[in-house]
Amino acid sequence: MLYDILALVLAIFVAPVAGGLLRGVDRRLTARLQGRIGPPILQPFYDFFKLLGKSRLVSSRENLIWAWAYLVLTVAALILFSLGQDLLVIFFMLAFAGASLAFGAFSVKSPYSHFGAYREIMQMLSYEPILLLAAVAIFLETGSFMVADVLSHGGPLLVFLPLAFLAVLIALGIKMRKSPFDIAASEHAHQEIVRGVYTEYSGPFLALIELTHWYELMLILGFIALFWAQPLWLGALLALGCFILEILIDNIAARLRWSWMVGVSWVLGVGLLLANIVIIQVAGYGPGL
Amino acid sequence: MPGENLIAVLILLPFAVGLLGLAVRDEKVRRPLVIAASLALMAASVALLFTVLGRGTVTFSPSEAWEMPITILDFAMLAYFLYIGITSRHVLVTALTLGQWVLFPLLKYSVLPAGYEVERVFRVDLLAVVMGLIISVVGSLIVIYALDYMREHEKHLKLSRTRQPVFFLFLIGLLGAMNGLVFANSILWLFFFWEITTLCCYHLIRHDLTSEAQASALRALWMNLVGAVACVLGMILVFRSAGTLALDEISAAGTVGPALLLPLALFCLTGFTKAAQVPWQSWLLGAMVAPTPVSALLHSSTMVKAGVYLVLRLAPSFEGTLLSAAVAVFGAFVFMTTALVAISQRVSKRVLAYSTISNLGLIICCAGINTDLAIAAAIALIIFHAVSKGMLFLAVGAIEQQIESRDIEDMEGLVSRLPLITGAAIVGMITMLFLPFGAVFAKWASMEAAAVPISPWFPLVVTFLAVGSAATLVFWSKWIGRLMSNLIVARKEEKAERRPFFAYGALLVLVSTAVVLSVFIVPLMSLLVMPAGQEMGYGVPFDTSGWQLRTALGTFSPWPLFAAVLVAIVLPALFIRVRRDELQPAYLCGENVAADPVSFRAVADVPVTAATGGVYWQRAFGENQLNNWINGAGILLLAALFAGVMM
């Protein structure tokens, strides 16, 4: 019980702070890679509170409802994760959250917003099979879909699931909306005026979406940490390493077409996972067998 | 009322009402008659549920006097199919019927001993009760809806003489035939009702008598006759090796020997044709030309459900065999590929049709995975798919009658024009698509069932399921997006939403059923679905203590998930308010025209109206691109299934 309350506090209050800080690191690191000085690490929080104070400009009421839904459903997924719940349920919840972002963009009559929504859906088509199959691969190693059981599982999963891990990195790139996968909206240093799925959001509701991204980032990094769950600090380091790797890739890659993204995720991502699952099956290890 | 009488009512009442309607022909009589009969069917099916829950499985054999008329009717139907084949010069229908003219007498008079009948002709266990409830409750609601729909439909067609009596005869008759089919324990009787469903389906599809409708009806007929031939062949082989045509005796034997695998594979093939699995999906898509209540009925509670029911019913007898693994791979393949094709569809009913085929594939896949968990998932999916899909067809039919189009592109922003029905449709889609609703619970359960390495083919099955699941997300989300976009206030000249009482009533009852069943999924699973699986010889996959569904692998807790959805969507929908002065036109990358919120000044200050359109990715997921591959692969998989079984 006490542990559950602690987990809830972590998920609801600590995760966004950590996520915001990581976004600050991201912006600073990106700036350095581009030869700029970059903003202070706390800049995402300054932006967030500034946005909160702006007056509301609204294109449609539904737009706001779905932005709110995006936040609540993402937080719900993170809470499920921190309470050690079922991985597939968490990913289905995350899919609902992602679709809410697209629904919000659809509920305004703006072509840019609609383009973004369709591309957001395409991004989901790309990473969803990877996440689901990664959960299956983890199940085959640990004998359970429950995060709690995966955490208490002894050996480091990364050793047995190296190919699955590579596939999850593709999903991480898409979920972080980093180049070459920032298809639904450009993420790059916010230089573009027309930002696809976010075009119609401003002020407090843009802040809400930014906050959701922080939660989302923590959830997906938490999932990566599961690949080295014992001791957990190693898993955290692993997740941090992947985060920095994504920033590097982001800065050396250009945005590409959606068809390329789906192709890479399905052929490479799903292929790697399938290969890993078959290897587990043939080698016959893991209590799931 | 004892169980036997309830069975008789559920099978015979629909036919009686249909024939009475045909004799009287007066709408003033037909409407109350149909409504009364529908209510009686619902009541009888619920009564049967309590009878079976209380007394256990009900068995019943009609007197031997029935044998002769049934045989005559069997042959009369074959004669009628032959007549259709010859008069419409359809080679396949003719040839397949002739094949049955050879095989069926062979079975009846050479293979079977004279006067053979199984001991328990009808046997109603919980699985049959679940099917009976779906047929009688969802099906009856669709029939009630049809009362309003067909009136409007015929007004639109400007017919000089109403054809509704014939229509309702086949529509209600289909319910009776389906009840007979799922209650039958004797495969001979099952086959008899099976043929009646084929007959009803043929007449319902060609109801409007356009050349397209007639062609589609003939296609549905020949494809269903393929299944019928396979079924008769299966009966001959199964009697040769097992000496019985009773379903319970076939599956009671536990996992069968290799000699029975071929007839079981043939029965599965029969199920696949009726469930419109690849490569037979085209008959169900062609059936879309029929009036909407027909599509709703065929897709949700009857016809295609007969196909998956048969496979599920036989599942215990091929548990752990190669056939089982092949069925799982095949079903998962159909689930994935038809979901992918659905992405490219812009005709609403075709999206629904592909989604139906896809979900049926998932049910068949679960039957093939054949574990405690998979069978529970399959039964749950049958229930939730019937309710949600029936509702979605009814909504689309009502929308079509009001906007005179079934194109998703014409439904842009429909939620502001027809708020009630579009809102219901969106809720219906969400119940098919997202947590914590039942259909997705079933998807979750099947995914976890597929992840357990019980056959060497499980990596393939689970991969198909993962990709198919993502594809499902795409086509529903896109459609929901189209319905919600363009929220400009309804223009004055547009007609207000017509809300016919019976049509809207049936629809709203189905939406609420989908939501309520999802909220109470734990009791539903523990009282009905899992006991149904147990009666088939499976174990109890879920620990239901604490209002959770806990398996050895994972946990599904519906109520916290519902709380999350409540806070995420329902509360903001109720409480988020926007002041008029906060409303701004969308950003259009130019100077907005003050008077028109969707126009902007572009080059040379010319006003341009912004337009949005759906994306269907034809070049990637179009039928032209994928169909040949899918059908080819489907045929190969089926060939592999038979080759594997015969080796």
pLDDT tens sequence across A81-120:
999 999 999 999 999 999 999 999 999 888 889 999 999 9
Q: Which of B453, B573, B586 sits opposite A110 (nearest CB)?
A: B586
Residue A97's closest CA among A79, A118, A130, A74?
Answer: A74
Task: Answer whether A127's CB lies under 8 Å from A146's CB.
Answer: no
Least Cα separation, residue A35 to chain B (angstroms): 31
Tell me which residue has tokens 């912006």. Answer: A27
- HSE-up (13 A, CA, CB side) for residue A81: 28
DSSP string for B370-390: -SHHHHHHHHHHHHHHHHHHH
Ranking A258-262, B19-23, B249-253, B609-613 by mean pLDDT, the lowest is: B249-253
Q: Are the beta carbons of A111 and B466 separated by less than 8 Å?
A: no
Interface test with A, best of B548, B561, B598 (most A CBs within 10 A): B561
Ranking A39-43, A189-193, A278-282 by mean pLDDT, the lowest is: A189-193
pLDDT at position B118 over 90 = no
Tell me which residue has tokens 């003033």. Answer: B28
**CA distance linking residue B45 with residue B179, whole number of Å:** 10
Task: Answer whether B367's CB lies under 8 Å from B331's CB.
Answer: yes
Confidence class for position A182, pLDDT limits 50, 70, 90: confident
Nearest CA in chain B to A282: B456
Interface test with A, best of B329, B340, B414, B555 (most A CBs within 10 A): B555
- Mean pLDDT over each residue of chain A, to the nearest integer: 90
Confidence class for position B492, pLDDT limits 50, 70, 90: very low
Q: Are the beta carbons of B466 and A128 separated by less than 8 Å?
A: yes
Q: Are strands B599-601 and B591-592 parallel, antiparallel or unpaired?
A: antiparallel
Residues from chain A contacting residue B561 (CB–CB below 8 Å) = 76, 89, 93
Residue type, B126: L
For residue B413, give both structure tokens: 């922003």
pLDDT at position B372 over 80 = yes
pLDDT at position B490 over 50 = no
Grouping H, G, I as helix, E, B as strand and the rest as coil, residue B419 is helix
ipTM confidence score: 0.95
Q: Are strands B607-609 and B58-60 parallel, antiparallel or unpaired?
A: unpaired
Give the burial class of A169: count Cβ atoms within 10 A of its Cβ; 0-12 exposed, 13-18 middle, 19 or more buried: middle
Tell me which residue has tokens 């985060």. Answer: A243
pLDDT at position B489 over 60 = no
The reported pTM is 0.95
pLDDT at position B580 over 50 = yes
* A185 phi-psi bin (left φ>0, alpha ψ -120 to 50, beta other): beta
Q: What is the pLDDT of residues B276-285, one digit of tens each?
A: 998 999 999 9
Cis peptide before B436 (omega within 30 of 0): yes
Q: Are the beta carbons of B488 and A259 separated by less than 8 Å?
A: no
Tell me which residue has tokens 């040839």. Answer: B95
**CA distance linking residue B191 with residue B205, whole number of Å:** 21
